Amino acid sequence: MTESNQSMTKTSPLQGLLSAFIPGLGQFVAGLRARGFYIFATVFTMGGLSVWTIAQRARFPDYGLSLGIFLRLSVQAAALLLFLLAAQRLLTRFILHDPVAQTFSGYGVGILYVLAVTYLTQSFLSLAAAGVETNQYHATTAVFAAAAMAALWIWQIGDAARVGGLSSQQPKPSIGSLIFIACVIIFILGYNITGINLPKAISEYQDTAILLPRMFWPWRNAFEYTQEFEEATQKIQAPCPAGDEGPPANSPDPDVAWVSATPTCGDLSERPITGGLMLGTELTITGGNFTPGQVVDILWNNPIGNAFRPRGMGPTEITIDLDGGFSTQLNIPDAVISASTAVGAQIHTLVVRQSSEEVFTGRLSQDMILALELMLQTIMIGLMATFFGIILAFPVSFLAARNLMAPVVSPLNRIVGSGIGLIAGVWAGGIITGQIANRLGGLAEAPIQIFLAGIFAVGMLGLLGFQSIGTLFTRLTNSLGAQGTGKVLTSLVLAALAAAPGYLLGIGFSRGIRSIVLGDEVAALQESTYAIAGALLLALVAALYGMLRRSGEGVKIGMAIYTVSRTIMNIVRSIEPLIWAIVASIWVGLGPFAGTMALTVHTIAALGKLYSEAIESIDQGPLEALQATGANRLQTIVYAVVPQILPPFISFTIYRWDINVRLSTIIGLVGGGGIGFVLIQWMRLYQYENVGIAVWLITITVATLDYVSSTIRERFV
Amino acid sequence: MLKVENLTHIYPDGTVALRDVSFEVPDGEFLGIIGLSGSGKSTLLRCINRLLDPTEGKVIWNGVDLTELDQADLRKSRREIGMIFQHFNLVRRSSVMTNVLSGRLGYTAPSWSLINRFSRKDREKAVAVLERMGISNKAYNRADELSGGQQQRVGIARALMQDPKMILADEPVASLDPVLAHSILGALETLNKEDKITVLCSLHFLDLVQRYATRVVGLRDGRLVYSGSKEDVGKLSDQRFKDIYGEEAQRLDTD
Ligand SMILES: Nc1ncnc2c1ncn2[C@@H]1O[C@H](COP(=O)(O)OP(=O)(O)OP(=O)(O)O)[C@@H](O)[C@H]1O
Ligand SMILES: [Mg+2]
């Protein structure tokens, strides 16, 4: 707000006053209705968001409290800001005349405001201290949101005063400041809601520092190493047998490594329930004939055969001295089975183990082999999903291409006849396939050939019915007359066709909506009534539609098919592959088949859309030219559409294959097979080397694929 | 014989492109269709083979009203009516041979077309037609590798594959230079004279009309405003032509 600004415009205090009480009202009154409305909506949205966030994040029990706190903070901040602005105004009026200095004093106000507001945090914490636990982090957010809100409020008061004084010829000032302050508030709240905590990212870095190197360079785990052990043992009995000394102590052996202990029996350490530790008998251990300078492990093998390092009882590693011997003290450790409940002589074994250097065998480790196998599986999941996706998306994309479907207009009697034929054909095909499969011991047992033949039969019979019954019915109704019996017949059959979905809708209505209101039992009781009512209703609507149509007018069946297939595709596509994988793994069980299925479903929808858009952008000319030669629809597609769409189709397909392999690496996280499956397991077992191996394999595969696919695509585009 | 009766076409957006147009074309005529841009020439030609469905009126082709036919019968009638286009409308990525053969689709069983198969007779016919159009050496080039004039010859070859009794040509030379224009129209004239194929051809230039057409109809704002025989066309003065055509009309001067 500089001097020059002020000399340009008259301000109007009235509008400013109005806006001070209701944001945007001044602007509204000044005739800038949209501006007033935007300001009102922005202030209230931002305020609501802030209060809500404070209540949620700072865990206040009620909104009233956070609203109160927010308002008090806002008023404090507003007072502060007004003070600073007034100070700056005085400064620029009487002392600073240089425009550069004036501008910098403006920045100074901003910086001072931010600094001063930070001190309000203390005030927030004391306000909130009314029995509510909160922390500095959320307090800062609340305070800054309130400060920004105060700025917004003051800005719009000033804005109202300014626009109130504008004459209608003058250009309206922009609402850039409004958008800017709103963005600041959203940023502050977003920072808090997403839990961004930069100090934490640095202070907790050490935890990752241990595991990151293991993940970055995990290759030691990729190979198998052999290691030889030499062990010397000494039996120890605990507790000591009555009046005896326990097992004999070993005597030095001139040829092999040996270990001996005195005494060879004693009491176990105990950990009383009351806490603490009572050390057991102290043993003196000596040994010899080990490799000088080597580190040996000291292990304790209890009577049930569990070997462990006796931590806290003495050294668990020891360096052999130059003449191959050692000597140390060790307390007998505690045991799960306490001395009082043990039955029979409890013989423990003290083990001193000397390990040789690890020897590289050149073989891959089991984990590496598993990772490689699963990586291959991953790539195959992506490939198969792409393959099935292409096959199914291809025909679907033609149904979803507007330019091909829009001209498809057919007389009602043809559609009705074809519809009946299609249903009858598919039904007959299903029955035949079912019969054959049953002879062979049920569908699940039937070989895949039967399954495919079944699909083929269903398709062919459906097509046959579609064509032949469609033609027959059209001829029949045409001969009966377009206005008379033919029309009646068509309408009746259409009504019969519509009854089926009506029946289902009736059941759905009863099971769904009515059961919510009436409870399951009542709804189930009247289910059939509603089903019949639904069937009758739809049949009636269909019959009326058939009768009231102007004859000769075609039905835009193409656009109907286009709309339905586009809608389905959009819905399927907007559901993430991971979610499809969850659905599929419930359906066919965990494993790669579920992953393939999930990716296939998503691929069909995604490719279908890309394909159909490619079809929509073709040159229509050749299409018309072929139509004009008397070619039928199928022929036009094969000769005029396919050659044009082949390059984009290939390009999209490779692109999708690329995406599918990427997706198949993570689809295992939810049980869809592939490397993601073990990746998540290894992660949970803290086997970070193996995690590293999996991540490396994924990275290499994806990078390679990226390169290959972009190279291939370059050729075709 | 083609008889157009009271043809009206209204586009879905309400544009009335043809209003009550009626005329007759005896077999073997070369009918020139003239008219300003936007006067409805393309609409008329496309209504004749029902690339557009007329809103009202009849198109009677050898005694059959094309507007009444169902899709199957319409396809049979379309086989007898070839069409060539200003922008050739070839499948640019396909070979010349495939483009020409596709003119035969109306006679081919759809299931054969699915696997891209044509009979031996069709292939021989295609070679002969290309020979006749003088581009047999380009048979296996991609269509977009040919020059404009050559592409239009492929377009005519495709129409000839249909064994047409009539050819509809929508400004066939508008995107070609004057020399090529004569060569293409010459080819159409030959077909008209030798093969007795009726030709309906929309044209822009008066001297082309006078040189090639045996009859002329003129359209203005979708109405038929002129109809004349060969003699009338010969006598058609520049001024009268401009009346029909508007001031932008001009002669195409080639020597
Ligand atoms: N698809 C369409 N939708 C709506 N109006 C159209 C459409 N195609 C053409 N028209 C209109 O119909 C009228 C006749 O168009 P038409 O293409 O038949 O003219 P033309 O004589 O062939 O012109 P030109 O010499 O420029 O090719 C024009 O007013 C045009 O704007
Ligand atoms: Mg035109």
Lowest mean pLDDT among A686-690, B89-93, B115-119: B115-119
Distance A116 CA to ligand 1 centre (A): 71
Mutate to test the pocket of ligand 1, among B7, B21, B42 (most ligand atoms within 8 A of CB): B42
Paired strand residues for A329: A284
Residue A1: predicted pLDDT? 41
Find out whether the peptide bond into A263 is cis, omega within 30 degrees of 0: yes
Give pLDDT, residue A673.
Answer: 85
pLDDT of res. B254: 42
* pLDDT of res. A4: 43
For residue B81, with 0-12 CB atoms within 10 Å meaning exposed, 13-18 middle and 19 or more buried, which class applies?
buried
Q: How far is the CA of B8 from the centre of ligand 1 (A)?
A: 13
Subunit contact A635:B83, Cβ cutoff 8 A = no
Which pLDDT belongs to residue A509? 85
Chain A residues closer than 8 Å to B77 by CB: 630
- Collect all residues of chain A within an 8 Å Cβ-Cβ radius of residue B51: 624, 627-628
Residues of chain A with C-beta less than 8 angstroms from the C-beta of B105: 626, 629-632, 635-636, 639
Residue A244 in tokens: 């005896």
For A622, which of B51, B90, B104 is closest by C-beta distance? B90
- Does the beta-carbon distance from A640 to B81 stay under 8 Å? no
Q: Which ligand is nearest to the CA of B38?
A: 1
Q: Are A631 and B102 in contact (CB under 8 A)?
A: yes
How close, in Å, is residue B107 to chain A by CA atoms? 8
Q: Which of A634, A639, A644 sits opposite B102 (nearest CB)?
A: A639
Query: Do A317 and A275 form a contact (C-beta atoms < 8 A)?
Result: no
C-alpha distance from A630 to closest chain B C-alpha (Å): 4
In which element (H, E) is residue A529 found? helix A527-548
User: Position A178: which residue type?
Assistant: L
Q: Do B78 and A630 touch (CB under 8 A)?
A: yes
User: Distances from the Cα of A182 to the Cαs of A106, A275, A624, in angstroms?
Assistant: 20, 59, 54
How far does the CA of residue B232 sit from the closest CA of chain A (Å)? 32
The ligand 1 atom at the shortest distance from the C-alpha of residue B41 is 21
| 3-state secondary structure at position B102 | helix
Residue A622 forms contact with B (CB below 8 Å)? yes
Q: What is the DSSP letter of A309?
A: -
Residues of chain A with pLDDT under 70: 1-9, 58-61, 127-135, 337-340, 442-446, 551-552, 716-717
Chain B residue with minimum CA distance to A645: B93
pLDDT given for residue A512 in this prediction: 79
pLDDT for the residue numbered A338: 65
pLDDT at A376: 92
Nearest beta carbon to residue B105 from set A621, A631, A643: A631
Give me ligand 1 centre to Cα B40, in Å.
6
Atom of ligand 1 nearest to the CA of B18: 14
| Residue B166 confidence class, pLDDT cut points 50, 70, 90 | very high
> What's the pLDDT score for residue B191?
94
Contact B106 A638 (CB under 8 A): no
What is the Cα–Cα distance from A645 to A664, expressed in whole angstroms? 28
**HSE-CB for A375 with a 13 A CA cutoff:** 17
Average pLDDT over residues B3-15: 93
Query: Would you list which residues of chain B are within 8 Å, Cβ to Cβ, of chain A?
Result: 49, 51, 71, 75-79, 81-83, 85, 87-94, 98, 102-108, 110, 113-114, 116, 155, 158-159, 161-162, 168
Query: What is the pLDDT, as a whole number, of residue A443?
Result: 65
Nearest CA to ligand 1 atom 3: B11
Residue A276: count other Cβ atoms within 10 Å of its Cβ.
8
> Quick check: A343 contacting B, CB < 8 Å?
no
Which residue among B7, B8, B9, B11 is best mutated to probe the pocket of ligand 1, counting the most ligand atoms within 8 A of its Cβ?
A: B11
Which of chain B's residues have a Cβ under 8 Å away from the Cβ of A634? 110, 113-114
Strand A229-237 vs strand B198-202: parallel, antiparallel, or unpaired? unpaired
Contact B113 A634 (CB under 8 A): yes
Among B102, B117, B151, B166, the strongest candidate for a mutation testing the A interface, having the largest count of A CBs within 10 A, is B102
Number of Cα atoms under 13 Å in the Cβ half of residue A64: 0
φ and ψ at residue A284, rounded to 5 degrees:
-100, 125
* CA–CA separation, A445 and A438 (whole Å): 9
Asked if B200 contacts B3 with a C-beta cutoff of 8 angstroms, the reply is: no
From the list A625, A640, A647, the residue facing B85 with the nearest CB is A625
Interface test with A, best of B49, B50, B113 (most A CBs within 10 A): B113
- How many whole angstroms separate alpha carbon A333 and alpha carbon B98? 90
Say what the pLDDT of residue A45 is: 93
Cβ separation of B102 and A634 shorter than 8 Å? no
Q: Distance, in angstroms, between B253 CA and closest chain A CA?
A: 30
The three-class DSSP label of residue B203 is coil
Locate A281 and state its tokens. Answer: 């008998």
CA-closest residue to ligand 1 atom 31: B38
Per-residue confidence (pLDDT) for residue A2, from 0 to 100: 41
Q: Can you tell me the distance from the alpha carbon of B132 to that of B125, in angstroms, rounded to the nearest whole number? A: 10
Task: Specify the residue with its C-alpha closest to ligand 1, atom 1.
Answer: B11
Place of tokens 């495939």: B98
Instruction: Determine contact: A639 vs chain B, CB below 8 A.
Output: yes
- Whether A630 and B98 lie within 8 Å, measured CB to CB: no
| Closest residue, chain A, to B67 (C-alpha) | A552
Cross-chain Cβ contact A643/B93 below 8 Å: yes
**What is the spatial distance between Cα B54 and Cα B48, in angstroms, rounded to a whole number?**
8
| Segment holding B97, helix H or strand E | helix B96-101
The residues with which B35 forms a beta bridge, in sequence order, are B219
Bridge partners of A555?
A410
Kindly report the protein residue whose alpha carbon is nearest to atom 25 of ligand 1.
Answer: B37
Q: Taking CA atoms, what residue in B is nearest to A620?
A: B89
Instruction: Report which of residues A318 and B247 the model is more confident about.
Output: A318
Counted across chains A and B, CB pairs separated by less than 8 A come out at: 88
- Determine the distance in angstroms separating the CA of B89 from the nearest CA of chain A, rounded to an integer: 5
Pocket (CB within 6 angstroms of ligand 1): B 11, 13, 15, 17, 35, 37-43
d(CA A164, CA B232): 76
B181 versus A197: the higher-pLDDT residue is: B181
